[in-house]
């Protein structure tokens, strides 16, 4: 007599037990020689077997936040949209067309604590909304920046509480701008009023920070040179992992690891093609791509990998330093950026400022498109992240800090409406927006710096 089949209830118990055995921790790391590769969010990391399990609760949907700084203000005529929507994007923002449903532009925000007005205070106040102590020495004093406040609340379980990036070397010291120490314009992030956090501009060092393990940076880089790829040392770990997950997760793992490998290839190529330049850009690290756009794309892709692998949940990124003399011949602006911004209402110079603004935004837009194309937890990586993009300076010719160029992207999973232009008729503290975004990622502050309210209509309630 053939054995009887287990009852349906027993089969259900067996299936439940099997799925639970296969559940993978969100903190799983693939380890090799000098390598520690985090994983993207997989279906196998979701232990419960209900329809709502794959959909995070509303309070958990937005747990990543990034800040992008563009220096030296903008040309408002080419930036500010007409109307209350982004149906007709302005020239400087035109590249956001494919993601405008997840973008809100805010006009009329200011930074009163950045006055009396300088490049140093523009950068320093952008994330702190604090008044920098005027000093040329080491007794500098500012305020804890919003990214670091967020990092203390949502970054404590990640490999890196926060990630600080830039495009330029921080080679200047002493006094940089009207009696202000260089530290104010070199550093966007401050973990305390007296502790600036240096940023990293070299993709290789950032890559090793994200995926290397053990030893000094020099030792990790030397270890990498001895093998063809960082991923070579975890081949067997990858094979074992893929045996434990379903087909969709295997595809997700393959895509993520291929993205890591592609970034690594681009870094290796940039280093291999580094050439001696008789007129070097002193602000650019040796061994990075010679083209600004290629360097910026690498830095953006590293942020995407860091978010996708939950290596960090907080990022700050300087697209260029204040008072930068970088040129942009690839877009028809061979003039140094800083002198161009002292435009005196010269139409030619204003047009060049608009070109630079448009160029920077286009690189950000490419990044947003990649985030939007990355599936995660019933949505996309962009749905579950938010970015604030802007400058601490408005009119660069006047060195003022009112009517700042500001936009917010992402956050659909937490209710950000998108395709909107919020225009304030009277100057409104940028700290109101900082407070709103901090609250949205779960930081229970009632005020921040000089805030006098919140941007109440930026988000709408999310229902499951």
What is the C-alpha to C-alpha distance for residues 279 and 292, in angstroms, rounded to an integer?
Answer: 16
pLDDT for the residue numbered 18: 39
* Triad 163, 45, 29: Cα angle to 5°: 50
Q: pTM for the complete prediction?
A: 0.89
Angle between helices 347-372 and 292-308 (to 10 degrees): 30
Alpha-carbon dihedral 110, 113, 117, 120, rounded to 10 degrees: -110
Which H helix or E strand runs over 260?
Answer: helix 247-272
Task: Please give the chain's pLDDT, 464 residues, in tens.
Answer: 444 444 444 334 333 433 444 578 888 888 887 788 999 989 888 764 344 444 555 545 558 999 999 999 999 999 999 999 999 999 999 999 999 999 999 999 999 999 988 999 999 999 999 999 999 989 999 999 999 999 999 998 799 999 999 999 766 555 577 789 999 999 999 999 999 999 999 998 899 899 876 556 566 566 656 556 778 888 889 999 999 999 999 999 999 999 999 999 998 888 777 654 444 454 556 678 889 999 999 999 999 999 999 999 999 999 999 999 999 999 999 999 999 999 999 999 999 999 999 999 999 999 999 999 999 988 999 999 999 999 999 999 999 999 999 999 999 988 898 999 999 999 999 999 999 999 999 999 999 999 999 998 898 876 54
Q: Which residues pair with 272 in a beta bridge?
A: none
Q: Which domains are seen in the chain, by residue range? A: 22-54+204-287 (no CATH), 59-201+313-464 (3.40.720)
What is the C-alpha to C-alpha distance for residues 46 and 12, in angstroms, rounded to an integer?
Answer: 18
């Amino acid at each position: 007599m053939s054995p009887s089949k287990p009852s349906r209830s027993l089969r259900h118990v067996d299936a439940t037990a099997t799925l639970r055995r296969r559940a993978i921790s969100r903190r799983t790391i693939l380890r090799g020689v000098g390598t520690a590769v985090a994983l993207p969010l997989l279906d196998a990391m979701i232990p419960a077997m209900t329809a709502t399990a794959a959909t995070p609760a509303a309070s958990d949907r937005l747990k990543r936040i990034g800040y992008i700084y563009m220096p030296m203000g903008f040309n408002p005529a080419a930036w500010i949209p007409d109307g209350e929507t982004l149906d007709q994007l302005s020239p400087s923002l035109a590249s956001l067309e494919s993601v405008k449903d997840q973008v809100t532009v805010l006009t009329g925000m200011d930074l009163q604590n950045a006055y009396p007005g300088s490049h140093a205070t523009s950068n320093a106040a952008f994330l702190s909304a604090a008044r920098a102590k005027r000093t040329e020495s080491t007794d500098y004093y500012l305020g804890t920046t919003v990214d670091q406040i967020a990092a203390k609340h949502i970054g404590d379980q990640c490999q890196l509480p926060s990630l600080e990036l830039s495009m330029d070397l921080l080679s200047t010291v002493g006094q940089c701008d009207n009696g202000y120490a260089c530290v104010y314009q070199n550093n966007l992030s401050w973990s305390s009023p007296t502790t600036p956090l240096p940023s990293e501009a070299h993709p290789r060092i950032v890559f090793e920070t994200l995926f290397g393990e053990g030893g000094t940076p020099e030792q990790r880089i030397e270890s990498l040179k001895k093998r063809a790829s960082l991923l070579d040392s975890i081949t067997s770990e990858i094979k074992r992992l893929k045996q434990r997950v379903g087909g969709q997760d295997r595809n997700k793992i393959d895509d993520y690891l291929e993205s890591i490998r592609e970034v690594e290839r681009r870094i290796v190529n940039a280093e291999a093609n580094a050439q001696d330049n008789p007129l070097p850009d002193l602000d650019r690290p040796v061994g990075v791509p010679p083209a600004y756009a290629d360097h910026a794309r690498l830095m953006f892709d590293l942020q995407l990998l860091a978010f996708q692998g939950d290596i960090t949940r907080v990022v700050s990124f300087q697209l260029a330093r204040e008072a930068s003399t970088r040129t942009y011949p690839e877009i028809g602006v061979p003039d140094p950026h800083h002198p161009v911004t002292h435009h005196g209402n010269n139409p030619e110079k204003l047009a060049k400022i608009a070109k630079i603004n448009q160029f920077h935004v286009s690189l950000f837009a490419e990044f947003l498109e990649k985030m939007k194309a990355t599936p995660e937890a019933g949505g996309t990586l962009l749905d579950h992240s938010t970015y604030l993009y802007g400058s601490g300076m408005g009119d660069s010719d006047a060195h003022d800090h009112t009517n700042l160029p500001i936009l917010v992207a992402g956050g659909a999973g937490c209710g950000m409406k998108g395709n909107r232009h919020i225009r304030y008729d009277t100057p409104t503290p940028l700290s109101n927006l900082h407070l709103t975004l901090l609250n949205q990622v779960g930081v229970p502050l009632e005020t921040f710096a000089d805030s006098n309210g919140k941007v109440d209509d930026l988000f709408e309630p999310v229902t499951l």
